[in-house]
Amino acid sequence: MIQLSAGASSATGAGLPDQPANNLGFDLPIVDAHHHFWRLSAGHYPWLSDRYDPTFFLGDYRKLCSDFLLDAYSKATSGFRIVSSVHVEAERSRNEQVAETAFLTDLHHQTGRPDAIIGHVYFVQPDCADILARQAEFALVRGIRSKPKTAPTPADRVNGEPGSMQDEHWLAGYALLERHGLSWDLRVPYWELEAAAKVARAFPAIPVAINHLGLPTDRSGDALAVWRRGMLALAACSNVVVKVSQFGLANGRWDSRSNIQVIREAIDVFGFERAMFGSNLPVAGLAGSFRDGIADILTAVPDATSSQLNRLFSGTATAFYRLQQAEEEQERPCNR
């Protein structure tokens, strides 16, 4: 069992952290199942290039408003063995959904990263079927992240409003994923997880990846009870896996104690076979470093075997996103 050094999971403060040093005794191969790249001159990213949004749920993100490409990613992950990665759509202009995928495909040919792409389409947009078909033509595309309309707070309800997960039009667009063999990256607030479980149950042939532990952004007892019910409902669906990613909280806050709690619970519910690590770089860097995230995960599962950790850090993502590059790496011995 490894011993974390003093301060291993402390906060690094707001802004993108400095290059992490891997002194965790950790050398497992990593498939990063969730990160972002962008070159602001290559397309329009409204949230990064237009008016700053002070209500962003993770706080001041102005340090993200510049290019983030492989060099910056490599610096943020230095000391760790990244063998493969999955790019998740980065909210590029919704008029440039296919263009973002083309940009990432070119980036892959130039740099070798990313190894898989999760694109975007709104399931209610008039040309949904056409955009999905065009996305599916790219060899690296494995799925779609499309955020449904959700209630703004736990006390509110969308009640089947247009664009919600109860909207028949939205459900019809969602059903098209099966035609193309694509998965859905599920990104909703924790109070919508039970509603998402109904969708997962209704379409068992569509694989679903919960983003960011189901976003338990409120770590109070009452909020975690709601989150827990949703996670249990989703875990009951065999087509659903969870991404162990994005632990930072509002205003750039990093709380290792509660991070460890939700990480442990999520892995207990889904098991290592249905959990996969994701960095959410560069966004996660607003609160903590890549190393901080790894440290909190390892603290949450102190008795995990090398086989279980291999599954968490590479095996689940390799299987779910149909990656090949990491397969041989997974067989290499590790220190733990």
Confidence category of residue 216, pLDDT binned at 50, 70, 90: very high
The pLDDT of residue 11 is: 35
Confidence category of residue 159, pLDDT binned at 50, 70, 90: confident
> How far is residue 66 from each of residues 45, 62, 69, 76, measured CA to CA in Å?
11, 9, 10, 15
Report, in angstroms and rounded to the nearest whole number, the Rg of the chain calculated over CA atoms: 19
- What domains are defined for the chain? 29-326 (3.20.20.140)
Which helix (H) or strand (E) is 36 found in, with range? none
pLDDT value at 15 more than 70: no
* Mean confidence (pLDDT) of the chain: 92
Predicted confidence (pLDDT) per residue in 134-156, tens digit: 999 999 999 999 999 999 999 99
Angle at 146 between CA 116 and CA 34, to 5 degrees: 35
Q: Determine how β-strand 208-210 pairs with β-strand 81-88.
A: unpaired
DSSP 65: S
pLDDT value at 73 more than 70: yes
* Sheet of strand 208-210, all strands in order from the earlier edge strand to the far edge: 29-35, 81-88, 116-119, 141-145, 183-186, 208-210, 240-244, 275-277
End-to-end Cα distance, the chain: 5
The pLDDT of residue 111 is: 97
pLDDT value at 17 more than 70: no
Query: CA-based diameter of the chain, in Å?
Result: 54
Predicted confidence (pLDDT) per residue in 236-286, tens digit: 999 999 999 999 999 999 999 999 999 999 999 999 999 999 999 999 999
Secondary structure of 253-283 in HEC code, one letter for each residue? ECCHHHHHHHHHHHHHHHCHHHEEECCCECH
The pLDDT of residue 9 is: 35
Could you give the 3-state DSSP secondary structure of residue 83? Answer: strand
Q: Are 118 and 142 in contact (CB under 8 A)?
A: yes
For the ranges 34-38, 53-57, 121-125, the lowest mean pLDDT is seen at 53-57
The pLDDT of residue 326 is: 43
**Averaged pLDDT for residues 297-326:** 93
What percent of the chain has pLDDT above 70?
Answer: 90
**Averaged pLDDT for residues 116-124:** 98
Q: Are 190 and 230 in contact (CB under 8 A)?
A: yes
Q: How far apart, in whole angstroms, are the C-alpha atoms of residue 288 and residue 248?
A: 7
Which helix (H) or strand (E) is 236 found in, with range? none
